[in-house]
């Protein structure tokens, strides 16, 4: 695709207020593939004003009709799946098969789910002598990350539109081309002007301007906990609604009696998924002492099967990280793990063989990791798994719950009842039982410093609604 040199505001591509641009780089070969305008406060203000002007008309649109527009948007995403997947692979580096199946396939399903939910959701209910109305919260400012560039946009836009809100999207600067394609699909779907607006730019400039704008009623942010804190503080000072989907350090607890080879294989596959750039990745594998060395050997064998390669090659199972900063950050954590005494079983901080360029990191497995080590406490955001030993279930629970995060987790046991009993004790917003599959209708979000609020399904829609009670 050819990058737009303007912003999508009020249903049209408009020139940016400033002249600065942001280069888009292919992480597989480090070559520039495009550039987008670096939005400034004036661009954000124009987008928010357009969203504010469009709000009364869109909020008054019948929910079923809003659902029809979302269905049309889903259909446009389907029609352009191959093109969008190729752009995601070019600017993010995820393998092409993963881009088609997950990076585009899941957002298509999510958008379709909200098309249906808009028409069926109870926006009004009777409670005694009152009628309770669920109304759109207003103008939404959405600040999205680069790791799932389309999914994170649809996670916010689809429920916001279903609720009757209008929205301004500020996508991550690493993956703005995907966001521009999404805006093209919005226009093709016949969504009214001003309902969805797009401003590209730096988080410290355009993102901050959007979070601070007095015309924004709710800020929805997905990204690091550090930035989430700042946005939460801005929103709190303005008494503004906020939804934060932040970091994770999820534990995969393998209890005695579980299918160990399967549990380890699923764990490693989960950690290398999207090159480890998933907030809910199961980066801590907890194994009973009696099975520990067996699990370490299995994990090493599984990890070595993921050979880094060109993400456009259908044979590649692992692409690069998104940029040089992320690559260096992940390598730094690997070096820290070695320095603190963890046993490097496979992988490491050196560049993978056969990859002289590109931001690649080898799949890395650490053993003899203790709970207080940096690699067991901080989010690495790369293909690195730490294997920890536990003595009994109470010890496993203490280790699993012993971080600042609580986004996700997994439990494996001989039967679902045993795994479920343990999962109920985990401080996590979402837990997979014996390999349970991701469900786009289930609420996604975390405990503790992993966030505020939920995305997906009816719970995700509720984030964009406010409550009014009429007494009779």
Based on the domain organization, do 338 and 211 belong to the same domain? no
Quick check: helix, strand or coil at residue 40?
A: coil
Q: What is the mean pLDDT of residues 187-200?
A: 98
The answer as to whether 416 is a domain residue is: yes
Find the Cα–Cα–Cα–Cα dihedral 132, 452, 137, 163, rounded to 10°. -80
Q: What percent of the chain has pLDDT over 70?
A: 100
DSSP at 443: -
> Long-range contacts made by residues 98-105, C-beta under 8 angstroms, separation at least 24?
98/273, 98/274, 99/311, 102/148, 102/151, 102/274, 103/148, 103/149, 103/150, 103/151, 104/77, 104/150, 105/81
Per-residue confidence (pLDDT) for residue 285, from 0 to 100: 99
Based on the domain organization, do 134 and 206 belong to the same domain? yes
Based on the domain organization, do 359 and 275 belong to the same domain? yes
Sign of CA dihedral 370, 372, 374, 377: positive
The answer as to whether 354 is a domain residue is: yes
Distance of CA 271 to the CA centre of its chain: 14
Based on the domain organization, do 297 and 332 belong to the same domain? yes
Identify the weakest region by mean pLDDT among 231-235, 351-355, 357-361: 351-355
- The neighbouring-strand residues paired with 284 are 251, 386
**Under 8 Å CB-to-CB from 293, ≥6 apart: which residues?**
none
Per-residue confidence (pLDDT) for residue 253, from 0 to 100: 99
Based on the domain organization, do 90 and 119 belong to the same domain? yes
pLDDT band for position 304 (cuts 50, 70, 90): very high
Examine the pLDDT at 359 and tell me if it is beyond 90: yes
* CATH number of the domain that residue 454 is part of: 3.40.605.10
Based on the domain organization, do 117 and 196 belong to the same domain? yes
* CATH number of the domain that residue 364 is part of: 3.40.309.10
**Closest alpha carbon to 156 in 462, 455, 465:** 455
The answer as to whether 444 is a domain residue is: no
pLDDT band for position 51 (cuts 50, 70, 90): very high
CA angle 303, 304, 307 (to 5 degrees): 105
The answer as to whether 197 is a domain residue is: yes
- Cβ–Cβ under 8 Å, residues 170 and 199: yes
> Which amino acids are annotated catalytic?
245, 279
Strands (E), 188-250: 196-198, 218-222, 241-245
- Cβ–Cβ under 8 Å, residues 364 and 344: yes
The answer as to whether 1 is a domain residue is: no
What pTM value is reported for the model?
Answer: 0.97
Based on the domain organization, do 260 and 328 belong to the same domain? yes
Examine the pLDDT at 355 and tell me if it is beyond 90: no
pLDDT band for position 356 (cuts 50, 70, 90): confident
Based on the domain organization, do 187 and 325 belong to the same domain? no
Separation CA 182–CA 189 (nearest Å): 10
pLDDT band for position 354 (cuts 50, 70, 90): confident
The answer as to whether 98 is a domain residue is: yes
Pairing, β 196-198 against β 430-433? unpaired
Based on the domain organization, do 134 and 238 belong to the same domain? yes
The answer as to whether 314 is a domain residue is: yes
- Express each pLDDT in 127-157 by its tens digit: 999 999 999 999 999 999 999 999 999 999 9
Q: Which domain holds residue 126?
A: 6-246+450-471
- The neighbouring-strand residues paired with 343 are 367
Based on the domain organization, do 431 and 296 belong to the same domain? yes
pLDDT band for position 346 (cuts 50, 70, 90): very high
Separation CA 74–CA 97 (nearest Å): 20
Number of structural domains (the chain) is 2
Examine the pLDDT at 314 and tell me if it is beyond 90: no
Q: What percent of the chain has pLDDT over 90?
A: 98
Based on the domain organization, do 455 and 352 belong to the same domain? no
The answer as to whether 455 is a domain residue is: yes
Based on the domain organization, do 223 and 261 belong to the same domain? no
- Express each pLDDT in 383-416 by its tens digit: 999 999 999 999 999 999 999 999 999 999 999 9
Examine the pLDDT at 1 and tell me if it is beyond 80: no
């Amino acid at each position: 695709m050819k990058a737009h040199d303007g912003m999508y505001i009020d249903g049209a591509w408009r020139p940016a207020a400033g002249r600065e641009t942001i280069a888009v780089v292919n992480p597989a070969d480090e070559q520039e593939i495009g550039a987008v305008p670096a939005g400034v406060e004036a661009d954000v203000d124009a987008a928010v004003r357009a969203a504010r002007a469009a709000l009364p008309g869109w909020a008054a649109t019948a929910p079923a009709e809003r659902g029809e527009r979302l269905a049309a948007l889903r259909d446009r995403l389907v029609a352009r799946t191959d093109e969008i997947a190729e752009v995601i692979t070019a600017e993010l580096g995820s393998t092409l098969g993963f881009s088609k199946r997950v990076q585009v396939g899941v957002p298509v399903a999510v958008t379709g789910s909200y098309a249906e939910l808009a028409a069926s959701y109870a926006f009004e209910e009777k409670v005694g002598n009152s009628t309770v109305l669920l109304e759109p919260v207003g103008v939404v400012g959405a600040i999205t990350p680069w790791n799932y560039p389309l999914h994170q946009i649809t996670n916010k836009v689809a429920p916001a539109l279903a609720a009757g809100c209008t929205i301004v999207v500020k996508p991550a600067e690493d993956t703005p081309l995907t966001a521009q394609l999404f805006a093209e699909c919005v226009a093709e779907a016949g969504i009214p002007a001003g309902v969805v607006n797009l401003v590209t730019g730096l988080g410290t400039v355009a993102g901050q301007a959007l979070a601070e704008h007095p015309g924004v009623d709710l800020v929805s942010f997905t990204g690091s906990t550090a930035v989430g804190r700042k946005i939460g503080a801005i929103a709190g000072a303005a008494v503004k609604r906020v939804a934060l989907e932040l970091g994770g350090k999820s534990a995969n607890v393998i209890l005695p009696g579980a299918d160990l080879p399967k549990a380890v294989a699923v764990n490693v596959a989960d950690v290398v998924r999207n090159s480890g750039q998933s907030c809910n990745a199961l980066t801590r594998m907890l194994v009973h002492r009696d099975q520990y060395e067996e699990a370490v050997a299995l994990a090493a064998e599984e990890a070595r099967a993921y050979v880094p390669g060109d993400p456009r090659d259908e044979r590649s199972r692992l692409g690069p990280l998104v940029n040089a900063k992320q690559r260096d950050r992940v390598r730094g954590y690997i070096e820290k793990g070695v320095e603190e005494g963890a046993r490097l079983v496979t992988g490491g901080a050196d560049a993978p063989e056969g990859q002289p360029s590109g931001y690649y990191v080898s799949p890395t497995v650490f053993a003899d990791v203790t709970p207080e080590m940096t690699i067991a406490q901080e989010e690495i955001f790369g293909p690195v798994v730490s294997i920890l030993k536990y003595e009994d279930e109470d010890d496993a629970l203490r280790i699993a719950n012993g971080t600042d995060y609580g986004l996700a987790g997994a439990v494996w046991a001989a039967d679902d009842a045993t795994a479920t009993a343990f999962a109920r004790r985990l401080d996590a917003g979402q837990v997979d039982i014996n390999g349970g599959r991701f469900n786009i209708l289930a609420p996604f979000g975390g405990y503790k410093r992993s966030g505020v609020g939920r995305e997906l399904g009816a719970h995700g829609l509720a984030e964009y609604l406010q409550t009014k009670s009429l007494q009779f």
